[in-house]
Amino acid sequence: MKNYRILILTLLLTPGLLSLGCGNIAGAPSATDKDTTQQPVAMQDHSNNPYWSTTDTTKLNVSKEEWKKILSPALYHIAFEDGTDAPFTYEYTDYKGNGIFYCAVCGNPLYDAATEFHSGTGWPSFYQPLTSTSVDHVSDGSLGMALTAISCSRCGAHLGHVFDDGPKPTGLRYCMDGTALVLEK
Ligand SMILES: [Zn+2]
Q: What is the pTM of this model?
A: 0.79
Return d(Cα 174, Cα 127) in angstroms, integer. Answer: 6
Q: Which of 26-35, 46-55, 173-182 is least confident?
A: 26-35
Q: Residue 115, Cβ neighbours under 10 Å: how many?
A: 18
Q: Is 152 a catalytic residue?
A: no
Query: What is the Å distance from ligand 1's center to 63 Cα?
Result: 13
Could you state, in order of their start, the residue ranges of all structural domains in the chain? Answer: 61-185
Which of 3.30.2130.10, 3.40.50.620, 3.40.1280.10, 2.170.150.20 is the CATH number of 61-185? 2.170.150.20
pLDDT of residue 13: 46
pLDDT band at residue 39 under the 50/70/90 scheme: low
* Farthest CA pair distance, the chain: 55
pLDDT of residue 23: 56
Query: What is the Å distance from ligand 1's center to 104 Cα?
Result: 7
Query: What is the Å distance from ligand 1's center to 25 Cα?
Result: 22
Reported as a single tens digit per residue, the pLDDT across 98-109 is: 999 999 999 999
Decide if pLDDT at 12 tops 50: no
Backbone angles phi, psi at 174, to 5 degrees: -85, 105
Question: Out of 103, 106, 152, 175, which one is annotated catalytic?
Answer: 175
Query: What is the Å distance from ligand 1's center to 106 Cα?
Result: 4
